[in-house]
Each structure stands twice: as structure tokens, then as C-alpha cells.
Amino acid sequence: MGITIKEIGFKTVRRPLKTPFKSVLQQVDEREVIVVSVQDESGDIGYGECVAFETPWYTEETITSCRFVLEHVLLPLLRGQNFQHPKEVWELFKAVKGNRMAKAAIEMAVWDLFAKQQQQPLWQFVGGILKAVPAGIVIAADPSQIGDRVAQANNAGYKRIKIKIHPDTDPFVLKSVVTNYPELLFFADANGSFNKANFERLKEFDDVGFTLIEQPFGEREWALHARAKAQLNTKICLDESISSVDDVQQMIDMKAGDIVVLKMSRLGGWTETLKVVELCREHSIGMWVGGMIEFGVSKAHNLALASLPGIEYPGDFSASTHFWEKDIIEPEIFVDNGEIQLSQLTGIGYKVDTAHLSPSEEAKECF
């Protein structure tokens, strides 16, 4: 039994966003990802998506560094390997430091392949229980547009809205928006834009009505996050700070946060993510699944993750049409009454349409 990796494929997808994504860290107008496929002897194909950005503004990895590491480091280790369980991929890559987004892309593909071999939807294979996952949208726009964007999201059925904030954001403007929609959940994401000097400013966001504030301070600022957790009523949630299960342990030990944003790409794939989920459950740490302005392959993996018991908050799950003119999966992901139904098909549950990449995308195919 098990799986022997016979073929490995990589394709670059590069598409413009419908609307620019503006955060304090970066404006994203166009997105490039690498779709990884692995095939076994049976001909089944598993898919993963490498979601590093073009430049290192979110994590240190870039899509170029990932392409290098995939081609020259990870791929040679993977070729011809036999696995009894997809967790063995993490073991295989143990000698390779960091590069979690590159590793995650391959890991995802192998987990998908195993679920397909077992003829199970991936969400079932990993122990998921939800049949539908609550949707959630992110508003990363100029302050003057926030009111309109929230109204649009509400009309589209979203029940959870995440708004990007930074020290110059006016909390009173946000408060007037949030109080207009008492039935919606609002999250704030500061992407590490606050610091010791403007700590008091952060406190002004405490009575806006946010369910949580994501990553107010820099990724290694455990003490500042602990201070925020002690002094604010709003829950503190960590995103950039959490790259491993050890980081979650650090957050717990330092009392530096109440909630963790799960991002499989940042954590290095399913194996480490499942360990994080277990640790968070043990310590009653809240969890939800974060987005990466990603295409449907990554989204499908994340939907399976969000189906697990204990993921209590709605994640960054918007419809394919939110970012893209056309996604790379069939059917596309759509939001119905604030929810996304999980596919009942095996593996990630979607067809991957890499045969219809535009010529410029195909020209970038690298292996």
C-alpha cells in the first residue's frame, strides 16, 4: 500500500486582482502562485498551491525563492518516494530549514493524493465534521471606501467582515460602521503596524466592537501582545507571529494571545497545522483559517481545514469571484447565505483547470 510519487508538475498562474488589495504592508494588484501536482502509479493527481508573494512583505519567502527551493531542494528529495502516510513528507523535509511555503505546497498535494487514494473527501480524511463552512471577507481598501464595501459584503451574504487597520485609521469611523450592522461579526487586522510608542492608540480600537484584533504588533513582539491581551477587552489574535507549533506554545507561555490564525502555507503544510490545532484545543485557544489572496487549490485545502472540530471563528473565505475574474478550479467557490458548501468529491473536491492557463502563464511553466 501507500503511495509512490511518479510524476511531479509545477505550473505558474499569474492573474490580476479585480480590485487592488491595500494593506499597510503592501498593495497587491496581481498575484502569482505555483500550482504543484503529484501523481502516483494509479494516475490519481494531488494538488497543492504555493502562495508566497513576489516580494518578502508578509513572510521572508518569495515566489522566486520557493521556485528555487522546490526545483533544487524539495523535488529531488520527493521523486520516487514511497509514503505510507502523508505525514512522512514533513519528516522527509526535516533537514531543510524554513521554506515553509514551498514545503506546504508539496505537502498539500500529497495529502490530496492520499485522500483520493482512500476515495474520501480531504475534509473527511483529516477528520473534518462541518459540511458547510462559514464565509468571511476581507476589506483592504482606502478608509473612504469601507462603508460601501461593508454594505456590498452584507448584501452578498457575508456574516463576517475583516477590516485592515493601522495607527492612522480612525476608530470612530469604524465604530459607526460596525454599530450599523449588529448582526455581523467584525475582525480587525493590523498586520503588525502598532508599536510600543503608540500602544495607547491601539486601546482606542477596544470599543469599536471588533470580535478580535489580529496581529497588532510585530511578529516577535510577544511582550507587547501580552500587554495588549491584559489591557484590552477585545481578543488578541496572532497571524504573522505563528510559523510553527513552537510559536503557539510561546504565545501560550507568554499569555500573548487568545486566538490563532491558521495558515497552512505559513506553517509548512498539513502536518504542522494539525499539530497546532491539537495544541490550541488542549489550551482552549481560539482558531480560524486565514487567507492568502489565494486561488482555489489553496482555498480548497483551507476549507477542509476549517471543517475540523474546534475551528470556532469564520475564516477568510470569500467567493472565487471576489478576487478573480476566473479561478483555476471547477466549479468555482461560491458563497450562499454566508456559507460555502464542502465538496463531497474525493480529495480537494475540485477539478483543477491548469490546461486552460493563458499563454503567458504557460510560458512561465518552469520544470
**Site residues (CB under 6 A) for ligand OSB?**
58, 138, 189, 191, 239, 290-293, 316, 318
CB of 76 to ligand OSB, least distance (A): 30
Q: Among Mg ion, ligand OSB, none, what does residue 58 contact (CB within 5–8 Å per kind)? A: ligand OSB
**Residue burial 157-184, b: 16+ Cβ < 10 Å; e: rest:** ebbbbbbbbbbebebeebbebbeebeeb
Q: Among ligand OSB, Mg ion, none, what does residue 66 contact (CB within 5–8 Å per kind)? A: none
C-beta closer to ligand OSB: residue 107 or 189:
189
Q: Among ligand OSB, Mg ion, none, what does residue 171 contact (CB within 5–8 Å per kind)? A: none
The bridge status of strand 286-289 relative to strand 259-262 is parallel
| Cβ–Cβ < 8 Å for 161, 153 | yes
| Cβ–Cβ < 8 Å for 327, 278 | no
Enter the C-alpha cell of residue 337.
Answer: 447565505
C-beta closer to ligand OSB: residue 269 or 314:
314
C-beta closer to ligand OSB: residue 237 or 277:
237
User: CB-based burial of residue 210 (10 Å sphere; 0-12 exposed, 13-18 middle, 19+ buried)?
Assistant: buried
C-beta closer to Mg ion: residue 111 or 217:
217
Q: Among Mg ion, ligand OSB, none, what does residue 44 contact (CB within 5–8 Å per kind)? A: none
C-beta closer to Mg ion: residue 93 or 187:
187
CB of 125 to ligand OSB, least distance (A): 24
**Residue burial 273-285, b: 16+ Cβ < 10 Å; e: rest:** bbbbbebbeeeeb
> Which position's Cβ is nearest ligand OSB?
291
- Dihedral over alpha carbons 94, 61, 138, 121 (to 10 degrees): -30
CB of 295 to ligand OSB, least distance (A): 10
Q: What is the Cα–Cα distance from 47 to 265, expressed in whole angstroms? A: 14
In the chain, the amino acid numbered 218 is G
Check 162, 164, 229, 299 and give the catalytic one: 164
Check 263, 275, 351, 364 and give the catalytic one: 263
* Active-site annotation holds for 97: no
C-beta closer to ligand OSB: residue 87 or 149:
149
Determine the longest span between alpha carbons in the chain, in angstroms.
Answer: 60
CB of 33 to ligand OSB, least distance (A): 12
CB of 316 to Mg ion, least distance (A): 8
> Which position's Cβ is nearest Mg ion?
239
Q: Among Mg ion, ligand OSB, none, what does residue 138 contact (CB within 5–8 Å per kind)? A: ligand OSB
- DSSP H helical segments within 324-363, as ranges? 359-363
Local structure of 308: helix, strand or coil: coil
* Active-site annotation holds for 175: no
| Cβ–Cβ < 8 Å for 295, 13 | yes
Q: Among Mg ion, ligand OSB, none, what does residue 293 contact (CB within 5–8 Å per kind)? A: ligand OSB
Q: What is the Cα–Cα distance from 262 to 264, expressed in whole angstroms? A: 6
Q: By CB under 5 A, name the binding residues for Mg ion.
A: 189, 214, 239
CB of 49 to ligand OSB, least distance (A): 12
Which residues are designated catalytic? 164, 263
